């Protein structure tokens, strides 16, 4: 069975991209292979990480284009040169136009640092703290023209602690991002994801499959023991 080819889009250090590369190296993505990493910034640190893993890289600098449509066309050409089955947004800090998104309908995933539909957009950890929520987290979803509102594939929840600030909360959420993004990619590559009536269904689900991961805090583990 041919493996699903994956292109990853980044803007900075690409920590989620690195977690995907690590999962691939550990043979946890046996049905998928990352064929390229593309950045919209030539100084994106993740490009060096990808190159160190032997993954081809490319840059489509958004600052070189007059507008979003021109950038989207150039980016699409760069992606399609690798003929991917799946495109992943991994800290890609550009809003993509409707035509671009529709071109990759059903094969474009994003990871967002909140439990969507709560806190779409930017500054999610700051907003979660300001609202006083007790549960926060991250979401893998299919990308649609509506920003951060595509069908949800998987989520991970974390507690918001009384002494949290943006840095500590972001770190706790990021650790879960690194868990669920490779999981979602594996499900896609195995052909187990389908969208029905705007909702994602996991075909041939197993007892070990969890679309919601809710790790306990150390305090909760002690209390339960």
| Residue 217, CA distances (Å) to 14, 47, 159, 220 in order | 26, 34, 7, 5
Are 185 and 29 spatial neighbours (Cβ–Cβ below 8 Å)? yes
112 is catalytic: yes
What tokens does 136 get? Answer: 């926060």
Instruction: Tell me: cis bond preceding 117? Omega within 30 of 0 counts.
Output: yes
Q: Of 134, 86, 74, give the one whose Cα is nearest residue 110.
A: 86
Q: Which of 112, 125, 136, 141 is an active site residue?
A: 112
Neighbours of 205 (CB within 10 A): 12
Q: Which residues contact 53 (CB under 8 A, 6 or more apart)?
A: 21, 25
Helices 166-189 & 15-25, crossing angle to 10 degrees?
Answer: 40
DSSP at 137: E
Catalytic residues: 112
């Amino acid at each position: 069975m041919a493996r699903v080819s994956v292109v990853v889009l980044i803007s900075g250090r690409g920590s989620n991209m690195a977690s995907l590369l690590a999962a691939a190296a550990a043979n946890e993505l046996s049905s998928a292979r990352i064929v390229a990493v593309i950045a919209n910034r030539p100084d994106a640190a993740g490009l060096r990480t990808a190159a160190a893993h032997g993954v081809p890289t490319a840059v489509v600098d958004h600052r070189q284009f007059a507008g979003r449509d021109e950038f989207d066309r150039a980016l699409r050409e760069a992606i399609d040169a690798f003929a991917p089955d799946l495109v992943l947004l991994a800290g890609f800090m550009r809003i993509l136009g409707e035509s671009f998104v529709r071109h990759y309908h059903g094969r474009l995933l994003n990871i967002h640092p909140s439990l969507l539909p709560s806190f779409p957009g930017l500054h999610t950890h700051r907003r979660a703290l300001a609202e006083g929520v007790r549960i926060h987290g991250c979401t893998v979803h299919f990308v649609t023209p509506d920003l951060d509102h595509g069908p949800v594939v998987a989520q991970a929840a974390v507690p918001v602690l009384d002494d949290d600030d943006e840095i500590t909360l972001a770190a706790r959420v990021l650790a879960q991002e690194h868990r669920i993004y490779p999981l979602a990619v594996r499900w896609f590559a195995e052909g187990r994801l389908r969208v029905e009536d705007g909702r994602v269904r996991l075909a041939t689900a197993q007892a070990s499959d969890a679309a919601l991961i809710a790790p306990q805090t150390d305090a909760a583990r002690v209390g339960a023991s």
